[in-house]
């Protein structure tokens, strides 16, 4: 990572970023997420009062419930990709019926996040039942069947050609923000599925599908060992890193990391107690990262409706607007709780907007 060590100051600025701003508005202009060279820019006007946008390079927002994926109506259908680049693809599955085949993705790891619905990931390692708030990581090539219980489900699907790993936050110990033993790892099971003459494994490779049919049920594994396995983690088992005196940059909330992207969990937590410190995400231009956010839940849904799916391309100023900031600051008292749960995917290389997502955000 490019690092610099020369800092300058000019004009009006605060001694400690994010603290004691008074009438100033602070904009965080940074490279490499929030880890690289940075400038704080100070203004007395709100920097994010958008009047209009002309052109295609802009934030895009939809209600994820409006996504019509092929797997909603066709059990052999797939999720709908909204955004992708060489490192990561972000899709939404609305699968209503069980896969009538076993599935194997050779294009990379699959990380599911369950926004809505319950069901079963039947894997060759054993069953993983799922519920809202679950992340399910399926390493590349894992054989599985997705078998939802409900009629309605909404799953975020993150696919990456390079391995997706649980992020280790080295400076805060081995059990923070996730104790690794809270991960749920499948144990072998006999699925007791009715006998079949042949068993289909539907394989995805370079985006295309091939089916190989086997005489014996490929899910009949009677034991396994090793350090390559699927697992699940519910967001309620993540204990967010926080500070009472300063709003932490989102990199502290990374849950998974892959080559060229990270997956973040924004979780309910107590707001910064120091009323002199900015609580809200500062105005920022994350100049090296595209940002994607699914609002999973909000205990105070008047503010932000769960299910919102937002895309902010790198370099576009965001944060809040002045009206929201003023209202939030006015009702903020020590001990205020932030109520939102959001799942973020931030990528270094720019994401391409799929034709379907573009149409939905025209
Ligand atoms: Fe951001």
Distance 319 CA to ligand 1 centre (A): 6
Quote the pLDDT of residue 279: 81
Quick one: average pLDDT of 168-191?
94
Query: Does position 148 have pLDDT exceeding 80, yes or no?
Result: yes
Quote the pLDDT of residue 319: 83
How many degrees, rounded to 5, is the angle at CA 67 between CA 66 and CA 68?
Answer: 110
Q: What is the dihedral of CA 89, 149, 296, 235, to 10 degrees?
A: -90
* Contact of 290 with 312, CB cutoff 8 Å: yes
Query: Does position 3 have pLDDT exceeding 70, yes or no?
Result: no
> What are the tokens at 183?
């991960």
Q: Is 199 left (phi over 0), alpha (psi -120 to 50) or beta?
A: beta
Distance 318 CA to ligand 1 centre (A): 6
- The DSSP annotation for 130-144 comes to E-TTEEEEE-TT-EE
Distance 247 CA to ligand 1 centre (A): 13
Backbone angles phi, psi at 162, to 5 degrees: -100, 160
Choose the weakest-confidence range: 93-97, 220-224, 278-282: 278-282
Distance 287 CA to ligand 1 centre (A): 10
Query: Does position 347 have pLDDT exceeding 90, yes or no?
Result: yes
SS3 label, residue 121: strand
Query: Does position 356 have pLDDT exceeding 90, yes or no?
Result: yes
Write down the pTM of the prediction: 0.95
Q: What is the pLDDT of residues 34-61, one digit of tens each?
A: 888 999 999 999 999 999 999 999 999 9
Distance 28 CA to ligand 1 centre (A): 10
> What are the tokens at 283?
């105005």
* Contact of 237 with 177, CB cutoff 8 Å: no
Quick one: average pLDDT of 165-174?
92
Distance 284 CA to ligand 1 centre (A): 6
Name the residue among 271, 318, 270 with its Cα closest to residue 292: 318
Cα–Cα distance between 322 and 177 in angstroms, integer?
32
Distance 109 CA to ligand 1 centre (A): 25
275 alpha carbon, distance to own chain's centre = 30
Query: Does position 172 have pLDDT exceeding 70, yes or no?
Result: yes
Quote the pLDDT of residue 339: 83
- Cα-trace Rg, the chain: 22
In the structure, ligand 1 is a single-atom ion and the residues with CB under 5 Å from it are 291
Quote the pLDDT of residue 93: 98
Q: What is the pLDDT of residues 282-301, one digit of tens each?
A: 799 989 999 999 999 988 76
Cα–Cα distance between 262 and 250 in angstroms, integer?
11
Quote the pLDDT of residue 198: 98
Quote the pLDDT of residue 38: 92
More confident residue, 275 or 94: 94
Quote the pLDDT of residue 92: 98
């Amino acid at each position: 990572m490019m690092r610099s060590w020369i800092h300058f100051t000019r004009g009006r600025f605060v001694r400690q970023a994010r603290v004691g701003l008074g009438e100033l508005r602070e904009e965080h202009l940074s490279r490499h997420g929030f880890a690289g060279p940075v400038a704080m820019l100070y203004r007395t006007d709100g920097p994010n009062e958008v009047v209009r946008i002309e052109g295609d390079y802009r934030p895009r927002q939809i209600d994820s419930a409006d996504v019509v994926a092929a797997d909603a109506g066709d059990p052999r259908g797939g999720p709908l990709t909204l955004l992708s680049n060489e490192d990561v693809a972000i899709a939404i599955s609305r699968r209503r019926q069980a896969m009538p085949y076993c599935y194997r993705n050779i294009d990379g790891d699959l990380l599911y996040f369950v926004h809505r619905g319950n069901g079963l990931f039947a894997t060759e390692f054993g069953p993983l039942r799922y519920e809202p708030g679950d992340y399910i990581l399926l390493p590349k090539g894992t054989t599985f069947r997705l078998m939802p219980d409900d009629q309605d489900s909404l799953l975020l699907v993150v696919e990456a050609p390079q391995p997706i790993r649980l992020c280790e936050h080295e400076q805060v110990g081995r059990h923070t923000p996730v104790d690794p033993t809270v991960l749920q790892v499948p144990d072998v099971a006999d699925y007791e599925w009715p006998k079949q003459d042949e068993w289909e494994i539907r394989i995805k490779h370079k985006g295309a599908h091939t089916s190989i049919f086997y005489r014996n049920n490929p899910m009949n594994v009677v034991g396994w060992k090793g350090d390559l396995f699927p697992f699940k983690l519910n967001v309620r088992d993540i204990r967010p890193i926080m500070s009472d005196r300063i709003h932490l940059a989102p990199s502290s909330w990374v849950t998974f990391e892959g080559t060229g992207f990270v997956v973040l969990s924004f979780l309910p937590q107590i707001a910064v107690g120091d009323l002199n410190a900015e609580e809200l995400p500062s105005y920022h231009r994350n100049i090296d990262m595209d940002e994607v956010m699914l609002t999973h839940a909000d205990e105070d849904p008047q503010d932000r409706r769960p299910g919102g799916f937002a895309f902010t391309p790198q370099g576009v100023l965001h944060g809040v607007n002045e009206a929201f900031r003023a209202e939030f600051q006015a009702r903020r008292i020590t001990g205020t709780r932030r109520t939102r749960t959001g799942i973020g995917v931030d990528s270094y290389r720019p994401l391409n907007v799929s034709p379907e997502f573009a149409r939905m955000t025209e």
